[in-house]
């Protein structure tokens, strides 16, 4: 099964963080009235959960955690705003999410070390089901087919 990068980003950024939300917030019946709108709270919770996972998987420094949290929060907010704005235009929504994804990757590249970014990309590809081509690069040894269909 192949999952597009857009679908994965949307799933990562928009998926409800149920366990985190249950652990941090009382049940709706006992929940106090707050000035924070529910969408903002869930957006923040999703960004925090994404950041926590990245901090653990990539061994981020405290300074990196804060920068990554800011990047994730901005990305989640932008995707959420796009979902509301383009709910009736899936093509426009996909295009916007692709743009957010690319911008996020560029920003992460500036914050993470090259080793951390490579690990992040590897984990991202595994989650999206993208086959790696590491074993298929270069020219095959003499006598082995190139698998290009030109034989």
DSSP symbols for 69-111: HHHHHHHHHHHHHHHHHTTT-HHHHHHHHHHHHHHHHHHHHHH
pTM of the predicted protein model:
0.63
pLDDT at 57 over 70: yes
pLDDT at 52 over 70: yes
pLDDT digits (tens, 9 = 90+) for 73-103: 999 999 999 999 999 999 999 999 999 999 9
Q: What is the DSSP letter of 140?
A: P
Confidence (pLDDT) at 39: 64
Radius of gyration of the chain, Cα coordinates, nearest whole angstrom: 19
pLDDT digits (tens, 9 = 90+) for 99-137: 999 999 999 999 999 999 999 999 988 888 877 655 444
Structure confidence at residue 143 as a pLDDT band (50, 70, 90): low
Do residues 60 and 54 touch, judged by C-beta distance below 8 A?
yes
Confidence (pLDDT) at 100: 96
């Amino acid at each position: 099964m192949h999952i597009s990068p857009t679908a994965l980003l949307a799933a990562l950024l928009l998926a409800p963080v149920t366990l985190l939300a249950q652990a941090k917030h009382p049940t709706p019946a006992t929940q106090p009235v707050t000035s924070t709108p529910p969408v903002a709270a869930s957006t923040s919770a999703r960004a925090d959960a994404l950041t926590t996972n990245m901090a653990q998987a990539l061994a981020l420094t405290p300074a990196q955690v804060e920068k990554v949290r800011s990047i994730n929060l901005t990305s989640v907010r932008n995707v959420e705003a796009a979902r509301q704005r383009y709910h009736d235009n899936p093509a426009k929504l996909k295009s916007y999410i692709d743009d957010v994804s690319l911008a996020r990757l560029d920003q992460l590249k500036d914050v993470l070390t090259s080793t951390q970014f490579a690990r992040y990309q590897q984990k991202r590809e595994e989650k999206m089901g993208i086959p790696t081509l590491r074993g298929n690069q270069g020219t095959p040894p003499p006598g082995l087919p190139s698998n290009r269909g030109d034989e």
